[in-house]
Chains A and B, each alone.
Chain A
Amino acid sequence: MSEQDILNAGAESPALEAWRMFRRNIPALFGVVMLTVIVAATLYGTFFYSGDPFEIVWAPHEVPGATPEFPLGTDYLGRNIVAGMLTGGGPTLAVGAAAAAITMVIGIALGALAGYYGGWVDNLLMRITEFFQVLPALLFAMVLVTLLDPTLTTIAFAIGVVSWPQTARLTRAEFLKIKELEYVTAARAIGARNKRIIWRVILPNAMPPLIVSATLTIGVAILFEAGLSFLGLGDPNTMSWGLMIGANRDYILDAWWPVTFPGVAIFCTVFAVSLIGDGLNDAFNPKLRER
């Protein structure tokens, strides 16, 4: 092997290496497929099967399979459950993704500042983080949603506001570790300013654990949205899986199907997301794979 070959061999980017790992991870690929199917069904399902999830179309509590028009049966009011399943995923996924994005933005910004500057900035920001960790997240989100009136935007905002502390801690820990490394000193030596070092030098290198954390955050946010909707605190004008379960909860002993199918859908979505998260984690940390 010539010297050039060795240099070329080492030139594979970490992202490409992670992708190679991920590609061989069967559960993670299964998660990707599952999530793709769910997202496709919520995005395009209504083209093939149209129906208003709020409209009363049949007798209440029609058993799944009994009428070909309503393969999953009807709920306590006689509303079509398939229509609810197909339209109810959109808000859940959208709120989950938006809330996770808000969580990551707040968490990374505060964690990066705390970890990079240290001293009183770190002290202050970490005390604020601890304060937010003391508030029970769901309760605080419930209060915020009630105060702000429940729309998809305020729900995503509320979930983001209560979920960022863990991301901030993780970001801070990564920054504390990376800022001591030589390439950061090198960047400073060539005159890079703090802003550039934080966002262009340290952050890209802190991304792997943050990407994994973002994936898991999406799962948690979806569960949050489902919980709020279940309690009847979601957007009342939008059908969602959580709302379907909440609306039918008083009749669970008469009919199991109106609460079971949406629950399975939530479970499959979060399960798929967390399989992907685990896969990314393994891909970024090859050492962990031996465990």
Chain B
Amino acid sequence: MNASFLIRRLGFGLLLMLGVVVLNFLLIRLAPGDPAVVIAGEMGGATKEMLDSIRQEYGLDKPVLTQLWIYISNVAQGDLGQSYFFNQSVAGLIAHRVGPTILLVLSAQLLSIALGVFLGVIAARKPNGVMSGFVSIFATIGYAVPVFWTGIMLIILFASVLPIFPVEGMQSVKLRDAGFLVQALDVAHHLFLPAFTLAVIYLAQYARLSRASMLEVLGSDYIRTARAKGASEKSVLFKHALRNAALPILTVAGLQFGNLISGALLVESVFNWPGMGRLAFDSILRRDYPTIMGVLFFASAMVVIANILTDLSYRVADPRLRGKG
């Protein structure tokens, strides 16, 4: 891994985040009305003292460029402003919500890749078999189902017909004082349905993609060599072929991260999952702009980080790229 690549990638990531901050600044000014009133939230009850202190903090009486500079330096110091609706700092609000969202998104990502790739590999063994047909149909269906609706259907199923999974929230109230392991299991139990809901869409895409990628790889000479020297079918598929077929899957997994966060917004709303999506939704309904902007900033930061990690893992997975700028 060469360092200059890493530095350049990080530098560009920071530049993107600076772009997000500038965009936030522009969006607040795009909202109709006095920015101070916008920032205070349209609750009608903002006192004159409150508006004055907002004008002071954001420098709203100064030229626009100075305001932008004040805003950027506040964000750089971790100050995303104050939510007047929740009466709390935005950074503090988000800090409580980042964990559940990351947990949900990563579990859904892992679940969809693991299951999807497995189905894709099985399907690739017989390109015209039953499993291949199933994967193609399932992929088209998975793409067409609205994610929030899948969640609702699963809630109906698991709340009334087959009550084996909790359908709401992240923890049981009665287990709040239990030991760590019990609590972790409880969270995992609550996590299953939301993560599965979110995974369904992408699972289908990974299955289709890995099937196509495997079919391409399975036709190559080194696979014939592996078979000729007597490697078992399992070893050929999962050791020889999958390693080479994995690159496109990795690329898509990285690109998919932003979509996963979008999907998580809806899934969190359906399952009352206490993450950033719920926070975004609540703050949008209340027009609590500092919080909305904070969530947009953090969600984008998560995508930037995921992209950098994808680029790095790409280099680990593909030795041909190492040493290239």
Which A residues are within 8 Å of any B CB, using their own CB?
130-131, 133-140, 142-143, 146-147, 219, 223, 226-227, 230-233, 242, 245, 249, 252-253, 256, 259-260, 263, 266-267, 270-271, 273-275, 278, 291
A147–B33 Cα distance when bound, in Å, is 11
Query: For chain B residues 28-75, which have a beta carbon within 8 Å of chain A?
Result: 30-31
Distance (whole angstroms) from the CB of A212 to the closest CB of chain B? 14
**Is the beta-carbon distance between A230 and B146 smaller than 8 angstroms?**
yes
A252–B168 Cα distance when bound, in Å, is 13
Write out the residue numbers on chain B whose beta carbons fall within 8 Å of the beta carbon of A226: 146, 148
Interface centre among B23, B146, B215, B303 (most CB of A within 10 A): B146
Other than the known A143-B296, A227-B266, A263-B146, what 20 A-B pairs have Cβ atoms closer than 8 Å? A133-B258, A135-B296, A136-B300, A137-B259, A137-B262, A138-B262, A139-B280, A142-B265, A142-B281, A147-B27, A147-B30, A230-B148, A230-B266, A231-B266, A253-B155, A263-B153, A266-B146, A274-B144, A275-B140, A278-B140
**Is the beta-carbon distance between A134 and B20 smaller than 8 angstroms?**
yes
Give me the 7 closest cross-chain CB pairs, A-B, nearest first. Answer: A138-B262, A263-B149, A270-B144, A271-B144, A136-B261, A136-B299, A136-B262
Distance (whole angstroms) from the CB of B258 to the closest CB of chain A? 5
Distance (whole angstroms) from the CB of A274 to the closest CB of chain B? 5
Distance (whole angstroms) from the CB of A139 to the closest CB of chain B? 6
- Residue of A147, A249, A274 near B152 (CB, 8 A) is A249
Distance (whole angstroms) from the CB of B29 to the closest CB of chain A? 10
Write out the residue numbers on chain B whose beta carbons fall within 8 Å of the beta carbon of A278: 140
Write out the residue numbers on chain B whose beta carbons fall within 8 Å of the beta carbon of A219: 143-144
| A137-B258, A231-B266 given; A263·B140 CB < 8 A | no
**Is the beta-carbon distance between A140 and B16 smaller than 8 angstroms?**
no
- Residue of B140, B160, B266, B270 near A138 (CB, 8 A) is B266
| A138-B266, A143-B27, A219-B143 given; A267·B149 CB < 8 A | yes
Secondary structure type dominating chain B contacts: helix
**Is the beta-carbon distance between B287 and A146 smaller than 8 angstroms?**
yes
**Is the beta-carbon distance between B266 and A291 smaller than 8 angstroms?**
no
**Is the beta-carbon distance between A227 and B146 smaller than 8 angstroms?**
yes
Chain B residue with minimal CB distance to A169? B255
**Is the beta-carbon distance between B284 and A143 smaller than 8 angstroms?**
yes
| A146-B287, A230-B266 given; A136·B303 CB < 8 A | yes
Distance (whole angstroms) from the CB of B171 to the closest CB of chain A? 21
A253–B156 Cα distance when bound, in Å, is 6
A147–B38 Cα distance when bound, in Å, is 10
**Is the beta-carbon distance between B152 and A252 smaller than 8 angstroms?**
yes
**Is the beta-carbon distance between A231 and B281 smaller than 8 angstroms?**
yes
Write out the residue numbers on chain A whose beta carbons fall within 8 Å of the beta carbon of B121: none
Distance (whole angstroms) from the CB of B300 to the closest CB of chain A? 5
**Is the beta-carbon distance between A252 and B155 smaller than 8 angstroms?**
yes
**Is the beta-carbon distance between A267 and B284 smaller than 8 angstroms?**
no
**Is the beta-carbon distance between A267 and B146 smaller than 8 angstroms?**
yes
Distance (whole angstroms) from the CB of B93 to the closest CB of chain A? 16
Write out the residue numbers on chain B whose beta carbons fall within 8 Å of the beta carbon of A130: 16
